[in-house]
Chain A
Amino acid sequence: MDRDKLSVLAISDSGFIFDPVTGHSYTANATGLRIFELLKEDKSEDDIKSVLMEEFETTEDEVSVDVDDFIENLKKYFLI
């Protein structure tokens, strides 16, 4: 996973994300933004799942599937 790309992204509090390298823009929801923050803090995937479980009403199974799915999406968009 290449997290260097994350540092060049312009991310607004409302969830608008702009990639100045490609010119593409994206929208993410609050949970997605939180994962972005944790990735930028260089947290491991397991750490990210633990943080989300502490902060949100969710289960380990659900968050595990969702974080994996979200990161797959970021790879698909070449954002990491």
Chain B
Amino acid sequence: MKKEYIKPYIKKQTAGIMNKFGVSYNKGHREEIEGVPVGNLTDKFGSPVFVISEKVIRERYRKIYSYFSNKYPKAKMSWSYKTNYLDAVCSIMHQEGETAEVVSDFEYQKARRLGVPGNKIIYNGPYKPIESLEVAFDEGAIVNLDNFDEIIKAEEAAKAINKKAAVGIRVNMDTGVYPQWSRFGFNLENNSAFNAVKRIQHSENLYLEGIHCHIGTFMLDSNAYREAVRKVVHLMRKIESEFKISIKYLDFGGGFPSMNKLKGTYLPPEVAVPPVEEFIDAVADTLLEELKPDEYPDVYLETGRAIIDEAGWLISTVDAVKRLPDGTKSYIIDAGVNLLYTSTWYNYKVEIDRELHGAYENSIIYGPLCMNIDVVVESAFLPPLPRGTRLILSPMGAYNVTQWMQFIRYRPAVAMIMEDGSTEEIRRPETLDDVVGPERIPEKLKKFEL
């Protein structure tokens, strides 16, 4: 009888530094996602395929909203469309009660098309075409203005539809973190925010209703939120006493991290990333400390990544195995960086679909693009993988299916595992018609002979 085959390996013994945390981030295998075997998903939807779990989204949302609303009485959440604006995903958020937070006219139209009323949309972002401002004002959306030119543009838009429109301002400030996000909104310390309010309150067509800020992304220090809340509340008080108005809402944006591993960080996310409750504590506790009960405004959070990132996976397939000239093991998989925008700043968790024997070694995972930059994972600790092995990369729910790019191959399907364990295709794979549809060939270029 023949013996079981285990791939041959040899490894040089080196004296290294022990990892006192004892966590091996990239080791493990996963045969199913939320109870559905990986093989069933690829049989039904092909490879690569993005997989999103309805159950995980709802659980994450409920956990965050319950915690926030238990602490602060007028807590509201608005779904950050740019994080993931697939219709099915947004519909789950809206079923849960989230309004829509959009940052472009396209996103505004997408939310409206899905059935979100205009007055349940928060319209943010540094660029808002005047036509879209007219629609937003007409439909009663919350519009947070970014700069002085936009105040003038908003004034024109409101005037064009003969309305005195409510607006908010986005503010930025020093919260003790580096880099300070100063490019969005009006600065607080140099008085630009107060001057913006003055300008709005002197307008015939605008009036101030809210203050918005969004201090950064993938924030790892919750104290920055305490500082932001403190400064925004002080600004609110100053505005209210100076202009004898009442601020209806404060919006602290998002920026909470997910369990993803930022490149260049030493600690695994289980150690480095604080729990989401810590950030909500920072916002809600500071609000309760700073505000009197009779002055509680509505307070919005626009949490995106912290809800959706861990609800998404990508299943891909190893197509080739290659030993590089310097001895490094590498794999070519069927999903590239054009689909995985977040690979630029994350080292994904890599799991394989079966238990494999053999020595683990640091390996590079390349995508299928004919481009040198197509490195999906720079270093994954993997056993020898045979061709055809499925790799499950995560967390994958945030930003990839909005920032992905069609390049040399079709973008793949996105599947959703429903709460009852059934699976649905929520975005079909692209076809040639999808890609060439908007193209037009001038008449004289239509014929050629080779």
Contacts from A to B (Cβ < 8 Å): 17, 24-32, 34-35, 52, 54-58, 62-63, 65-67, 69-70, 72-74, 76-77, 79
Known contacts: A29-B358, A29-B359, A72-B323. The answer to whether A77 contacts B5 by CB under 8 A is: no
Is the pair B3, A28 in contact by a Cβ cutoff of 8 Å? no
Is the pair A66, B3 in contact by a Cβ cutoff of 8 Å? no
Chain B nearest Cβ from A12, distance in angstroms = 13
Contact residues of A: prevailing secondary structure: helix
Instruction: Give complex CA distance A42, B444 in Å.
Output: 68
- In the complex, which residue of chain B has the Cβ closest to the Cβ of A68? B323
For this complex, 17 residue pairs linking A to B, each with C-beta atoms less than 8 Å apart, are: A25-B13, A26-B11, A26-B13, A27-B13, A28-B9, A28-B10, A28-B11, A29-B359, A30-B6, A31-B5, A56-B4, A57-B2, A58-B5, A70-B8, A70-B10, A73-B323, A79-B10
Known contacts: A26-B13, A27-B11. The answer to whether A76 contacts B5 by CB under 8 A is: no
Instruction: Give complex CA distance A64, B334 in Å.
Output: 23
Chain B nearest Cβ from A8, distance in angstroms = 16
Contact of B437 with A by CB under 8 A: no
| Interface residues as binary, B322-345 with A (CB distance below 8 Å gives 1, 0 otherwise) | 010011000000000000000000
Contact of B321 with A by CB under 8 A: yes
- In the complex, which residue of chain B has the Cβ closest to the Cβ of A72? B323
Contact residues of B: prevailing secondary structure: loop
Instruction: Give complex CA distance A34, B4 in Å.
Output: 13
Interface residues of B in 368-384 (CB under 8 A from A): 384
Chain A nearest Cβ from B72, distance in angstroms = 57
Instruction: Give complex CA distance A31, B321 in Å.
Output: 19
Instruction: Give complex CA distance A31, B8 in Å.
Output: 5
Is the pair A73, B327 in contact by a Cβ cutoff of 8 Å? yes
Known: A27-B11, A66-B7, A66-B384. 6 other contacts (CB 8 A): A26-B12, A52-B5, A56-B5, A73-B9, A76-B326, A77-B10
Known contacts: A65-B321, A69-B323. The answer to whether A74 contacts B10 by CB under 8 A is: yes
Which of B8, B13, B321, B327 lies at the interface centre, i.e. has the most chain A CB atoms within 10 A of its CB?
A: B8
Instruction: Give complex CA distance A57, B6 in Å.
Output: 9
Instruction: Give complex CA distance A46, B29 in Å.
Output: 33
Is the pair A57, B3 in contact by a Cβ cutoff of 8 Å? yes
